[in-house]
């Protein structure tokens, strides 16, 4: 076997792999002997099928498989021995004039195009300044957090007189229909007054009590046919034909009331007796605000740091090869679409290479304990997304460990996220963070 290299440019090469009969013959024969041991053909005892029949049935396929394995292994070994790191996968170069005949050929020649990972340096120092925006918490933010908690743990109460934000339950029925039609009627119907579109009709529904009835034009009140269909419990097609007035008879009036700022709320938010006074609750909220704002500041810093580094650490990529590789690996490749997003793809790829180099140059490692801790934080965040705030550390830990055991993709994402975090921390140490205090409004404007 012989492998030779041809340079297309500094970052793209062609590898030519020449394979002779002696390179694969023994391997193919071993495979065929194994087939023979397992073969179970009618007319022959198990394992006693003549090797000639086995060769005729499976010889070409076995030969092709072993040659392909041999070529793949030889390319991998060549890259390792020559300290070459390729990007993407090697692209076979097909010659339409020389079709491969695995059945009759004894000598083979394969060509592959490869993209090579570039070498570069990251030259940054404390002279390089990157802005770090520290959000200053204020009373408005604190009050919004507290109000959000009060709303989250609020509930509905029954009231006597309807207000503009109340929810009414009752019976709805069509007032006038042709003599040949059956009037539409539905029980157990819920109407939220604040979603009624027409202002005058909305007023008609306020100031009412149980037993009162409101007659209204349903198409004016609710212009959306899908919503009308849901309200009347009919199909959308039937709702499109609905016209005229409906009578809604009120059976119940419900009003949403935010939770009170008391021990019951403190326990629901932070757990039983973790917070025992309003002062402690406010202190806990402020602690949470600071942590969340710091997360937002660091997120913005990661974006700014990425842009800053990409603007200053310049190196070429095998762009022609990468475009070919993308076209080859997409199910329905469209060159126009690839061209549209190719610049962003290259930036992301450069960033991945920069992170990879920082990890390698600084010998960054992650431990099992760090992976578990990161998984626990991700688990706790998911619980919070579903509105589950009171979960014990043991429950979070068990859930996280179970996820790490069963979900390889999620585990890989967590590990990659940890490596990138540590690489970013290293970058932060390489430059000067120029702290700037801003309000939340000013911070939000930075993203516009």
> Mind listing the pLDDT tens digit for each residue in 275-308?
999 999 999 999 999 999 999 999 999 999 999 9
Residues 377, 281, single domain; the answer is yes
- CATH number at 240 reads 3.10.50
* pLDDT of 42: 80
Residue 185 pairs in a beta bridge with: 173
Residues 246, 288, single domain; the answer is no
Assess whether pLDDT exceeds 80 at residue 166: yes
Tell me whether residue 393 is in a domain: yes
Residue 186 pairs in a beta bridge with: 172
Report which of 323, 318, 362 is spatially closest to residue 341, judged by C-alpha positions: 323
Residues 160, 296, single domain; the answer is no
For the chain, the domain total comes to 3
262-281: average pLDDT: 92
Question: Which of 227, 257, 287 finishes a domain?
Answer: 257
Give yes or no for a contact between 370 and 425, defined as CB atoms under 8 angstroms apart: no
Tell me whether residue 12 is in a domain: yes
440-446: average pLDDT: 94
Q: At what angle do helices 51-81 and 21-38 cross, to 10 degrees?
A: 130
Residues 310, 392, single domain; the answer is yes
Give yes or no for a contact between 249 and 209, defined as CB atoms under 8 angstroms apart: no
Residues 315, 201, single domain; the answer is no
Give yes or no for a contact between 247 and 104, defined as CB atoms under 8 angstroms apart: no
Q: How far is CA 217 from the centre of its chain?
A: 45
Assess whether pLDDT exceeds 80 at residue 385: no
* pLDDT of 173: 95
Place of tokens 């403190």: 266
d(CA 18, CA 110): 7
The two structure tokens encoding residue 91: 């692209």
Tell me whether residue 123 is in a domain: no
Query: Higher-confidence residue: 189 or 39?
Result: 189
- Domain limits for position 302: 129-145+265-445
- Which sign does the torsion angle of CA 292, 296, 297, 301 carry? positive
249-271: average pLDDT: 94
* pLDDT of 332: 72
- Which sign does the torsion angle of CA 140, 142, 143, 144 carry? positive
Residues 307, 382, single domain; the answer is yes
Residues 253, 272, single domain; the answer is no
Tell me whether residue 294 is in a domain: yes
* pLDDT of 434: 96
The two structure tokens encoding residue 325: 């590789």
Tell me whether residue 191 is in a domain: yes
Residues 273, 249, single domain; the answer is no
Tell me whether residue 288 is in a domain: yes
pLDDT band, very low/low/confident/very high, at 328 (cuts 50, 70, 90) = confident
Residues 277, 170, single domain; the answer is no
Query: Higher-confidence residue: 198 or 330?
Result: 198
In eight-state DSSP terms, residue 195 is: G
199-215: average pLDDT: 96
Residues 23, 99, single domain; the answer is yes
Residues 331, 372, single domain; the answer is yes
Residues 349, 287, single domain; the answer is yes
Residue 82 CB neighbours (<10 A): 9
């Amino acid at each position: 076997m012989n492998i030779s290299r041809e340079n297309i440019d500094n970052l793209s090469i062609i590898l030519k792999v020449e394979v002779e009969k002696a390179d694969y013959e023994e391997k193919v024969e071993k495979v065929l002997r194994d087939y023979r041991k397992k073969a179970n053909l009618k007319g022959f005892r198990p394992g006693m099928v003549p090797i000639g029949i086995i060769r005729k049935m499976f010889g070409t396929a076995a030969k092709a498989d072993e040659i392909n394995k041999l070529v793949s292994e030889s390319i991998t070994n060549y890259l390792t021995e020559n300290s070459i790191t390729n990007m993407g996968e090697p692209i076979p170069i097909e010659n339409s004039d020389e079709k491969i005949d695995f059945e009759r050929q004894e000598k083979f020649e394969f060509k592959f195009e490869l993209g090579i990972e570039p070498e570069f340096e990251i030259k940054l120092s404390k002279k390089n300044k990157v802005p770090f925006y520290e959000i200053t918490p204020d009373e408005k933010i604190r009050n919004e957090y507290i109000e959000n908690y009060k709303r989250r743990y609020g509930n509905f109460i029954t009231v006597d007189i309807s207000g503009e934000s109340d929810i009414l339950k009752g019976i709805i029925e069509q007032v006038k229909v042709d003599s040949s039609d059956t009037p539409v009627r539905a029980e157990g119907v819920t109407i939220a007054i604040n979603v009624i579109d027409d202002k005058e009709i909305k007023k008609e529904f306020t100031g009412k009590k149980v037993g009162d009835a409101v007659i209204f034009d349903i198409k004016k009140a609710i212009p959306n046919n899908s919503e009308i269909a849901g309200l009347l419990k009919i199909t959308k097609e039937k709702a499109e034909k609905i016209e005229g007035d409906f009578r809604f008879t009120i059976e119940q009036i419900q009003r949403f009331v935010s939770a009170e700022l008391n021990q019951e709320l403190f326990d629901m938010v932070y757990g039983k007796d973790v917070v025992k006074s309003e002062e402690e609750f406010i202190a806990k909220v402020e602690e949470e605000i600071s942590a969340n704002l710091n997360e937002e500041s660091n997120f913005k810093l990661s974006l700014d740091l990425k842009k800053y580094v990409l603007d200053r650490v310049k190196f070429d990529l095998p762009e022609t090869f990468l475009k070919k590789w993308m076209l080859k690996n997409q199910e329905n490749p469209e060159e126009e679409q690839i061209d549209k997003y190719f610049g962003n793809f290259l930036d992301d790829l450069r960033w991945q290479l920069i992170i990879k180099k920082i990890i390698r140059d600084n010998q960054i490692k992650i431990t099992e304990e760090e992976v578990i801790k990161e998984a626990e934080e991700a688990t706790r965040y998911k619980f919070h997304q579903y509105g589950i705030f009171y979960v014990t550390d043991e429950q979070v830990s068990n859930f996280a460990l179970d996820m790490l055991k069963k979900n390889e993709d999620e585990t890989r994402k967590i590990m990659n996220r940890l490596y990138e975090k540590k690489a970013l921390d290293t970058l932060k140490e390489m430059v000067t963070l120029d702290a700037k205090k801003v309000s939340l409004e000013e911070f939000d404007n930075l993203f516009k």
